[in-house]
């Protein structure tokens, strides 16, 4: 899951020559998706994801570091090359939390444009939440009236409360928490990775959810069995891979799988008991995720304990897919679901 170019997703087509692309540049990952319209949706023709840790140190310095920018531009150069291989008629490249927070984002994107030709926009947390919902709403169970959608990022975690009407979502409310796997991993590392900090993180996140929970009467709706939970992030897809005992990550087995809270808890305990060195050798984690998975587990544990829905559906899709759907919809292509999703 660290550096993937999904060869299985590459589809050769002589019939359709027009393609769409989306780049999601987050605090931790750089991701691109290239797709073509297919059956009121789309088929992925090329995808790429690389951990770049662009937001490393931003929490303390309020700046993107030179090393982080260099890593990211290297990855973006590969993304640009992929785009050149296709006839891209519409694209959108977005950046999120790290670039929202840093004071040198403008200079960074000037360099990105000069070296790769790519132009980015920094989107706010509300737009980030909207696109994430748009990309994964098809996994929601139509029988449940409400949904909690969780996107655990590198620099923030988006919590989205949606009303579900036969697969079409309306965002009722959203909350952007200032906790992500990168900024928490830096705190965790500085403190010597002690258990008390992990427990404190869980408590702090639960407290942050209090007013959001009360305002939207989430617990009452959970008690009425009207709420489902959907997670879209590297944390939840990694936990799913661990539960399946996969030696290599397989999106076809992960996307849409349901994990019980007991399964999540067992995997979290297993990961917390393992040393950093042991996590580095675990399949689907490796060295790049070994440090990040523990803070991610803490965020997810806090959310699951606050809202005992009982199980979580895993989405290996999100912001990029939302962008692609919206681009196609705006170009007049018929889409299932609700590509015109508005808050």
Quick check: 126 and 93 in contact, CB under 8 A?
no
Does pTM top 0.85 for this prediction? yes
Q: Which two tokens stand for residue 47?
A: 């995808």
For residues 335 and 41, the answer to whether their CB atoms sit within 8 Å is yes
The structural architecture, per CATH, of the domain 3-126 is: 2-Layer Sandwich (3.30)
Residues in the chain: 343
Residue 338, pLDDT score: 54
What span, in angstroms and rounded, lies between the C-alpha atoms of 133 and 170?
9
The pLDDT score that the predictor gives to residue 288 is 85
Q: Residue 86 is encoded by which pair of tokens?
A: 């296709």
Q: Domain 141-314: which topology?
A: Nucleotidyltransferase; domain 5 (3.30.420)
- How high is the pLDDT of residue 156? 92
Tokens of 116: 């790769």
Of residues 294, 17, 318, the one with CA closest to residue 181: 294
H-helix segments, 62-96: 66-84
Q: Please give the pLDDT value at position 197.
A: 78
Intervals of the chain under pLDDT 50:
1-14, 16, 190, 340, 343
- The position carrying tokens 């840790």 is 53
The domain limits of the chain are 3-126, 141-314
């Amino acid at each position: 899951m660290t550096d993937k170019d999904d060869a299985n997703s590459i589809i050769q087509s002589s019939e359709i020559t027009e393609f769409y692309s989306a780049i999601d540049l987050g605090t931790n990952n750089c991701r691109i998706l290239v797709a073509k319209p297919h059956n009121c949706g789309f088929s992925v023709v090329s995808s790429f994801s690389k951990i770049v840790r662009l937001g490393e140190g931003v929490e303390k310095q309020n700046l993107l570091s030179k090393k982080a920018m260099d890593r990211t531009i290297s990855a973006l150069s590969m993304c640009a090359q992929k785009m050149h291989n296709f006839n891209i008629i519409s694209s959108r490249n977005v950046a999120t939390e790290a670039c929202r927070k840093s004071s040198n984002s403008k200079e960074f994107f000037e360099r990105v444009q000069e070296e790769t030709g790519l132009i980015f926009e920094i989107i706010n947390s509300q737009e980030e939440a909207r696109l994430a919902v748009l990309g994964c709403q098809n996994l929601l169970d139509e029988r449940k009236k409400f949904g909690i959608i969780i996107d655990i990022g590198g620099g923030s975690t988006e919590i989205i409360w949606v009303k579900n009407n036969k697969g079409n979502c309306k965002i009722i409310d959203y909350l952007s928490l200032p906790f992500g796997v990168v900024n928490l991993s830096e705190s965790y590392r500085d403190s010597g990775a002690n258990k008390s900090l992990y427990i404190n993180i869980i408590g702090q996140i639960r407290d942050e959810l209090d007013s959001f929970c009360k305002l939207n009467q989430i617990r009452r709706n959970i008690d009425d069995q009207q709420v489902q939970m959907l997670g879209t992030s590297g944390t939840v897809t990694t936990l799913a891979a661990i539960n399946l005992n996969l030696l290599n990550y397989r999106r076809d087995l992960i996307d849409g799988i349901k994990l019980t809270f007991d399964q999540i808890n067992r995997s979290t305990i297993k990961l917390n008991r393992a040393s950093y060195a042991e996590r580095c050798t675990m399949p689907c984690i490796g060295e790049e995720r070994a440090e990040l998975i523990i803070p991610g587990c803490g965020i997810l544990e806090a959310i699951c304990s606050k809202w005992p829905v009982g199980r979580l559906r895993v989405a290996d899709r999100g912001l990029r897919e939302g962008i692609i759907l919206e681009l196609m919809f705006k170009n007049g292509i018929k889409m299932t679901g609700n590509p015109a999703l508005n808050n």
